[in-house]
Amino acid sequence: MKTTTRIAFLLGLLAVLGVCLNSGDVQAGSVTFSQIVQSTQTPGDPPNLYGPADLSTPNELLFPAPNSFAATAIGAGGADITDGLVSFLVDADPLTWVTDIDWNEEGTWSLIESVPGFATVATNVRNRLQGFITITEVNDAPVVIAPIAVGGPALNFDAINNVPPDSDFWSNGFSFDFTPYGNVTQFRVSMNNRLLAFSEGGQGGTSIAFIDKKLIDITVTTEMVPEPASLALVGLAVVGLAVRRRSR
């Protein structure tokens, strides 16, 4: 075989090999969110505090309009706690596994005093985000793994350390990496999300504390296993190279 022909042949095989290797990484598969259940542990609050779920974007579970997910306290001894629970199941598409999940939420807070300088740290609002992730399948096979605790940092805003301003935006969340557990293909999330508000009052004045949740956004990142057909083409390319080398 002429040198130029041999080079052209090898370049062709390498091109096929490159296409095959990259075909499995062109676009990762998706996940399905199901069994979305909401509840509350605080009397008087609606059970669907998170509001309607938006599943229009692949690999994303969005709650764009929480339903009265807020806490308000007014005057002496004021205290309000709003506690929303949500759980859901995540299933990866065939030939797909999950690499991580990101939980992001945001809202606003306000601390108001009737007389400047009256309120103390006792006038405050808080956000707590705690829960568990339970991995139920790896490589599409059922597994038994103890629930893993997850959550965001404890957020606290009070009338001494955060005023002024008397109102602002807040954000919270967490990320979780599944890769140490292998090719995770199914898992369940159960989260307890609390908002707390505390106020004070007396002869010298009074205070109001308020915090709400305006958005909860959960996204899942995936990777895709190269398809068997692509792997077969890779094998053929390698065999072709070997045969040509032996026939020289």
Q: What is the pLDDT of residue 164?
A: 85
Q: How far apart are CA 36 and CA 95, in angstroms?
A: 24
Q: Which two tokens stand for residue 149?
A: 């605790």
pLDDT per residue as tens, the chain (248 positions)? 555 555 444 444 444 444 444 444 445 689 999 999 999 989 999 999 999 999 999 999 999 999 999 999 999 999 999 999 999 999 999 999 999 999 999 999 999 999 999 999 999 999 999 999 999 999 999 999 999 999 999 999 999 999 888 999 999 999 999 999 999 999 999 999 999 999 999 999 999 999 999 999 999 999 987 655 444 444 444 445 444 555 55
Cα–Cα distance, 49 to 154 (Å, whole number):
20
- How many residues appear in the chain? 248
- How high is the pLDDT of residue 229? 46
Task: Give residue limits of the domains in the chain.
Answer: 1-25+226-248, 28-223
**Distance of alpha carbon 225 from alpha carbon 82, whole angstroms:** 43
What pLDDT, on a 0 to 100 scale, did the predictor assign at position 26? 43
Supply the pLDDT for residue 9.
47
Least Cα distance to 172 among 103, 100, 83, 125 occurs for: 103
